[in-house]
Structure 1
Amino acid sequence: MFKSFNIRKKIYYLSDTIKRKNVSNHLKEINFILNNPESNKSKIIQKSNLNNILNHATNTTPFYKKFRNFDSILDFPVIKKLVIQDNFNEFQSYPHKDKNNFKVSTSGSTGVPFFLFQDEVKRNRNKADVLHFLKRSNYEVGHRLFYLGVRLNQKFSLKSLIQNVSLIDISKLTDKAIEDFLEKVAKDKNSNKILLGHVSAFETILKYLDRKNKDITNIKLNSIITNSEHLSVETKTKLENYFNTPALSRYSSEEAGIIAHQTIDSPDTFVVNHASYYIEVLNLNNNTPVKPGEIGRIVLTDLFNYAMPLIRYDTGDIAKTKVCDNGSIQFESVEGRKMDLVYDTQGNVLSSYVFNKIIYKHYKKIKQYQFIQQDKKEYEIKLNLQEDKFPFEKELISEVKEDFGKDANVNITYVNEIPPLASGKRRKVINNYNKNNSLINPALSKHESIT
């Protein structure tokens, strides 16, 4: 039953038509805008979508009502999660309050548990975004998709059958669980299949493959997509070498959806989802746009959530932009959360992935690691080892001092486990000094940041 992915594809879009969800109509618009980013038609559609959400927000929500006479989006404040949570009812659009909205929430990886409502149009737009970027990752509706997630509902469903999705629980990735998973993928008779899941799950699988010197050339994949966490160059390279397929990173959030995505035609940079969001990348210390090649805060305006409009929402993440040959803007890198930027002993901002490169040479000896800046010159490294001893303490401390300062105080702590968050993510870099000291102070002006 449903052996052909073409049958599954037809059933999926027939269901869309019957239920009048219009995912296919959204998909056509997304395809056009992202495939023709600099065309006049694309810009007209984007401008119309932006004006529609701004007018809707100022006419139907108490929070945005005071900006009704806006001249441009720059008249709106940059907002953060706490503002939404503290003024939750004021962000809700009154025509949508009594409708069948969907509650979405994050696990609070930034220390701020967060939820909001999305309307059905927004949900359908998200589905269309997913389909667009899956296709640009060598996937079509009906192909086999192995999804590696945390505490999944494993109950059989007609939806999973039609979409040809296999759910893999990664709560306990023991050697036996990994062996069973790899065997399941290898024996799967579908000719087109991809893997999608948390970076940390793939890192655990890679460590297993390293230790066992495992040959998996019998596994044939169209691609691997990682989500939820940063995909380092080192992990990306190892995945591609082991599985002989492209490994692509998805940058998304629970409260919004897919914001940017690496694709087959853009494997090392992120295609920004300008079709569904108005994206700004702003200076770390004020709300002016950064230049290409500079690190800045990702601030988005959701063009399709009419239930709870998000205008100039500071995601808490940072990115570096680049201008492509066709004039479109992509993310050269998504560096992670601003709160987890780290600083050298002189107060200079460093990418949180500086330490990733330092620790990589010890990859085979470490199960898990965590780098914590405790104070201006105080750094802690937590290590969960594969073996009983780690004979490279002095070398590791010396390498950290090379990047962070000769006067850095570096302590290594050995632990039996670095527990994941509820989402399954493990924070590899933490800045407690940043939490206790206001190192980044957005300037308040007409473009006021509300924190």
Structure 2
Amino acid sequence: MRALAFKIKESISGRRVLKNVEDLRNSYGKKTDLQERRFANILQHAIKTTEFYSSYGGYFTLQSCPVIDKQTIKENYDQFLSRGFLKENLYKMTTSGSYGTPFTFYLSKEKKLKQQAEVIYFGEWSNYFVGTKHAYLMTKSKSKLKLFFQNEIIMAPYTLDLQWLEQQRNILRKQKPKVLIGYTSAIVTLANYIISKKDNFILDGVITVSEVLSEEHREIIKKAFRATPLSRYSTQEFGVLANECPQETKHHLNNVNYIIEILDIDKDIPAKPGELGRVVVTDLFSHAMPLIRYDTGDLAILGQGTCKCGLETPYLEVISGRLVEEVFDVNGNTVSGFAVNGAMQDIENVLQYQFVQEGENEYRMIIIKINNFDGENKIKARFQEFLGRNAKIIFEYTDEIPPLKSGKRPYIINKMKKSSSLSVNRQ
């Protein structure tokens, strides 16, 4: 019934989500010149309607265009916005990013429809279809009407303590969602809890997002939910960049709506086969705020050969740099790293941050600030809501947050080593 209602709503409102799903279905895995044509279109649009790209008139190929990153955009922010759109008609997306760099992107209506279509199309690989009853283990909120219409349940993982875990187990038992979607760490913690209770659920599919899904965690999820989880590589500013296939769990790239390159760590040239490189994305539909050769800050290894599933698309063998570390509140309960992410999303004048747990109730917030930063009290109040009123938060300001030996700059570091499973098994 909900699938039918969705189609009727599409017809009445003139929205084109399902049309975009069909575009993906008809184009994905097929060799065409679609990427080249769409790149030419977005490049010309960017040159004509933005100040930043107005100097790109001499660039005719993707490889000739410079690589940009968040720093480039922050320093020239208004120059990236297209004159072809009014801000009030755009969707505002705020993200803290993988490395604690708060950022706001603007999406056109067409781009938003593309994102929704990607979720539906790639969700079908995990038996998620329009109208399928599903649960989100993510820090997001929606109206009751929207949740009903989308047949959706929110299981927000702010504090992964025993009370929350038991509540979610009861939700699964009573409301019986068919598909589970959410942060890898939250789903794994819930799965471990369910196993510890000698319980299990039979789901049609599990989709993990935002964090690396290890083989160990894949087996834990399979044991608890009797379904093979598939990892989705997506970002708020782009959409679904890659999705694991059911046959070989390779991250197949979304080369219909994006051009995704894996470049050398130090140089803007393709990484060698089997070598870890930077994930650089060109969004073929980011017309409101064009992103051409944008360095995401993530690292990956491009796969070689053809996947046994039969899809003739490039795929990622390994995705690195997407592990979000957990921290603990003053009582020792696990706190999702995404609670930190959410608390920092709208804090202004922060170029980059790193949150460090030093001890049981001692924390350090390292900030690279710009302009007139005055968010210290707001940050402290927000963090004490989920860490505890006795949490001691020390602020430190710097001009640079040095990378680890791996080259990554994680935005959460937990120096108080403690297994996240302890909060599950304390009974």
Counterpart selection for 1:196 from 164, 169, 181 = 181
Q: In the TM superposition, what whole-angstrom CA distance separates every residue of 1:335-394 from its partner, at most 9, and x where no partner exists? A: 115xxxxxxxxxxxxxx89x99xxxxxxxx996899xxxxxxxxxxx99xxxxxxxxxxx
Q: CA deviation at 1:306?
A: 0.5
Aligned position for 1:415: 360
Does the 8 A contact of 2:96 with 2:102 survive in 1? yes
CA distance in 2 between counterparts of 1:269 and 1:109 reads: 22
Q: CA deviation at 1:323?
A: 2.9
The CA RMSD measured in Å over matched residues stands at 3.3
CA distance in 2 between counterparts of 1:134 and 1:86 reads: 36
Aligned position for 2:161: 174
Q: Which one-letter code corresponds to 1:106 in the other structure? A: T
Q: In the TM superposition, what whole-angstrom CA distance separates every residue of 1:94-128 from its partner, at most 9, and x where no partner exists? A: 11135601111112541321111110000000000
Q: In the TM superposition, what whole-angstrom CA distance separates every residue of 1:248-269 from its partner, at most 9, and x where no partner exists? A: 1111111111111113244x21
CA distance in 2 between counterparts of 1:115 and 1:46 reads: 26
Counterpart selection for 1:297 from 278, 290, 306 = 278
Does the 8 A contact of 1:101 with 1:120 survive in 2? yes
CA distance in 1 between counterparts of 2:256 and 2:278 reads: 20
Aligned position for 1:349: none
Consecutive unaligned residues of structure 2, counting only runs of 5 or more, are: 327-331, 338-355, 366-378, 384-397, 408-427
Does the 8 A contact of 1:239 with 1:247 survive in 2? yes
Does the 8 A contact of 2:261 with 2:270 survive in 1? yes
Aligned position for 1:375: none
Q: In the TM superposition, what whole-angstrom CA distance separates every residue of 1:114-172 from its partner, at most 9, and x where no partner exists? A: 1111100000000001110111111111111111122634x411x32122101112223
1:156 aligns with 2:144: yes
**Paired residue secondary structure (1:292):** coil
Q: CA deviation at 1:437?
A: 6.8
Does the 8 A contact of 2:161 with 2:334 survive in 1? no
Aligned position for 1:216: 199
Aligned position for 1:47: 36
**Paired residue secondary structure (1:89):** helix
Query: Structure 1 residues 417, 103: closer, same or farther in 2, change over 3 A?
Result: same
Q: CA deviation at 1:438?
A: 10
Query: Structure 1 residues 329, 95: closer, same or farther in 2, change over 3 A?
Result: same
Does the 8 A contact of 1:82 with 1:112 survive in 2? no
Query: Structure 1 residues 146, 419: closer, same or farther in 2, change over 3 A?
Result: farther
CA distance in 2 between counterparts of 1:174 and 1:18 reads: 45
Q: CA deviation at 1:417?
A: 8.4
1:275 aligns with 2:253: no
Give 1 or 2 for the bigger CA radius of gyration.
Answer: 1
Aligned position for 1:387: none
Aligned position for 2:234: 252
Q: In the TM superposition, what whole-angstrom CA distance separates every residue of 1:13-52 from its partner, at most 9, and x where no partner exists? A: 2212221121122111111222x33x3xxx2222211111
Does the 8 A contact of 2:25 with 2:121 survive in 1? yes
CA distance in 2 between counterparts of 1:417 and 1:187 reads: 39
CA distance in 1 between counterparts of 2:134 and 2:22 reads: 23
**Larger displacement relative to structure 2 (9-18 or 128-137):** 9-18
Q: CA deviation at 1:208?
A: 2.5
Q: CA deviation at 1:296?
A: 0.7
1:232 aligns with 2:214: yes
Does the 8 A contact of 1:368 with 1:418 survive in 2? no
Query: Structure 1 residues 438, 288: closer, same or farther in 2, change over 3 A?
Result: farther
Counterpart selection for 2:266 from 269, 277, 285 = 285
CA distance in 2 between counterparts of 1:254 and 1:437 reads: 24
Does the 8 A contact of 1:148 with 1:198 survive in 2? yes
Identity among equivalent pairs (%): 31
TM-score, normalised with respect to structure 2: 0.74
Aligned position for 2:105: 116
Query: Structure 1 residues 105, 141: closer, same or farther in 2, change over 3 A?
Result: same
Query: Structure 1 residues 202, 189: closer, same or farther in 2, change over 3 A?
Result: closer
Consecutive unaligned residues of structure 1, counting only runs of 5 or more, are: 1-6, 338-351, 357-364, 371-381, 384-412, 424-431, 442-451
Counterpart selection for 2:243 from 247, 258, 261 = 261
Q: CA deviation at 1:277?
A: 0.5
Aligned position for 2:12: 18
Aligned position for 1:243: 225
Q: Which one-letter code corresponds to 2:164 in the other structure? A: A
CA distance in 1 between counterparts of 2:402 and 2:257 reads: 36
Does the 8 A contact of 1:133 with 1:261 survive in 2? yes
CA distance in 2 between counterparts of 1:295 and 1:74 reads: 19
Aligned position for 1:373: none
CA distance in 2 between counterparts of 1:248 and 1:290 reads: 26
